[in-house]
């Protein structure tokens, strides 16, 4: 073996352990974690989760920020605007707003919901209404004509509709 070949092999062999230590020392959780403990991380996660939920009236603030609630469970209170089917209705914004009506769809019939009634709706904000998708995901059959005007509009997939609210809520 020539001296040049031996030097190349020795150099290559000396790089392998250094490279191995470098790879082992790198992972996605490395970094400065001084002063951070599990409780801090859990508290941050709880605060982020709480910040994502909305619980209040269907007003201009909610309407303006609705896209930030897509996929989140919210609770909104409002007056029932229009009954579309026994399983769906729209809610209107408060008197001091000009927000558009918001579609609410539930997977069961809601005979106690009437136009003008103040309700509390808990459910998941969805970005865009698509009748075939909604029917498939909720396991329901909805009247196509009743939903023509709502195609592509945001809506709430309700899990609970509280009809016991006071009109001042």
Between CA 23 and CA 27 the distance in angstroms is: 8
Among candidates 157, 148, 149, which has minimal Cα distance to 127?
A: 157
Looking at residue 138, its pLDDT comes to: 86
Judge contact between 74 and 53, C-beta under 8 A: yes
Model confidence at 5: pLDDT above 80: no
pLDDT, tens only, 15-62: 555 545 555 555 544 445 555 444 444 454 444 444 558 999 999 999
Q: What residues are paired with 91 via a beta bridge?
A: 80, 102
Please report the pLDDT score of residue 139 as a whole number.
87
pLDDT tens profile 81-103: 999 999 999 999 877 778 899 99
Q: pTM of the predicted model, to two decimals?
A: 0.68
């Amino acid at each position: 073996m020539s001296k040049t070949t031996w030097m190349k092999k020795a150099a290559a062999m000396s790089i392998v352990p250094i490279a191995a230590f470098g790879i082992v020392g790198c992972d996605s959780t490395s970094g400065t974690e001084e002063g951070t403990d599990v409780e801090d991380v859990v508290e941050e996660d709880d605060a982020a989760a709480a910040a994502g939920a909305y619980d209040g009236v269907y007003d201009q603030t909610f309407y303006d920020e609705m896209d930030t609630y897509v996929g989140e469970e919210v609770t909104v209170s409002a007056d029932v605007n229009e009954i579309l089917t026994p399983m769906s209705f729209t809610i209107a914004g408060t008197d001091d707003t000009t927000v558009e009506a918001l579609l609410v769809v539930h997977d069961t019939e809601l005979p106690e919901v009437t136009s003008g009634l103040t309700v509390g709706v808990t459910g998941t904000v969805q970005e865009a209404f698509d009748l075939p998708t909604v029917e498939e995901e909720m396991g329901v059959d909805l009247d196509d004509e009743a939903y023509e005007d709502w195609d592509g509009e945001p809506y709430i997939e309700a899990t609970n509709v509280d009809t016991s609210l006071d009109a001042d809520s």
